[in-house]
Amino acid sequence: MRIIQSNSTDPCFNIASEEYIFNTCIDNVFYIYRDDPSVIIGKHQNALKEMNYRFVRDNNIKLVRRISGGGTVYHDLGNINFTFLMHTKESVQVDFKKYTFPVLNVLKKLGLKALFTGKSNLTIEGKKFSGNAAHVYKNKVLHHGTILFSSHLDVLHNALTADQSRFSDKAVNSKRSEVINISDLLDSPLTISEFMEMLITQVTIDFGSDYEQNFSKDERDKIEKLVTNKYATWDWNYGYSPRYQLKGSINYIPYILEVEKGIIRKCHFKEVYDYNKELSHISEQLQNLPHCEELLINKLGGNGKESKIAGISIKEFVAHLF
């Protein structure tokens, strides 16, 4: 098994690395990394529905869509992410217990009683510290999971608290759980790097022989290309969201947006005598534009300082469409 520790904390690079590993690596791989603050959503989720968009935007938290299913998770430098790529001929390829077993063994050595609960979670005292997801193609399985070690749980909570009642769609929804950090439960201080080394050692015990080999320059170049063409793009991270309707109001005027493949197909405003003609014109302008805040501001009037729509600035008007 090849062991790879990422030297990057860029979530776009690390999530792209998982796809690269899955598509190209001949050997089995264990990949471990940490990310700068980011929201990571499942392949079939509605990006805007899964997060507090305004909080995430205002705090420069990245959003990245992964290739596996499952729910949304929050990453920061206090969170450990681990990935297995396994080539298998077994009839049952998705086995969450198998790939979380090393985590449970490490915690047992540290005197913590952790449990595998539900479909894919690890918990301590009923509180979740690890979520897991998988992606399968033919004889390959990609399993990845998170470990909350010393994450900023207040930021996690704020980033993932969203008003989902505004959306109507068939996207995969996340299930929220009460969470906990491992570091808060330890009797003796332990750094996150020390915990990661313990996990790597345990993986080699539980899965056999290993060799450490980080990405070569050629591999990094190919991953960076994947970042540029996919994982850092609006089309993948937002535009790939399933079709949805979004309800809201602007200056007390209700609206409904119909969005497909990230594109606004229709915008319905409730008739308000003072603004009927203006809003009708805006509806026409919004049609077939990406549901992207910066682009909409530019299309409707540049920086939004000079003009107004329905009595408010263009910038304020567009902000209410999210």
Q: How confident is the model over 193-224, as pLDDT tens digits? A: 999 999 999 999 999 888 999 999 999 999 99
Task: Domains for the chain: give ranges and CATH numbers.
Answer: 2-237 (3.30.930.10), 244-319 (3.30.390.50)
125: left (phi over 0), alpha (psi -120 to 50) or beta: left
Contact 197, 191 (CB under 8 A): no
Query: Max alpha carbon distance in the chain (Å)?
Result: 74
Distance between CA atoms of residues 78 and 196, nearest Å: 11
Distance between CA atoms of residues 217 and 235, nearest Å: 27
Q: How far apart are the first and last CA of the chain?
A: 45
Q: How confident is the model over 146-205, as pLDDT tens digits? A: 999 999 999 999 999 989 999 999 898 888 889 999 999 999 999 999 999 999 999 999
pTM for this prediction? 0.93
Amino acid letter for position 145: G
Amino acid letter for position 230: K
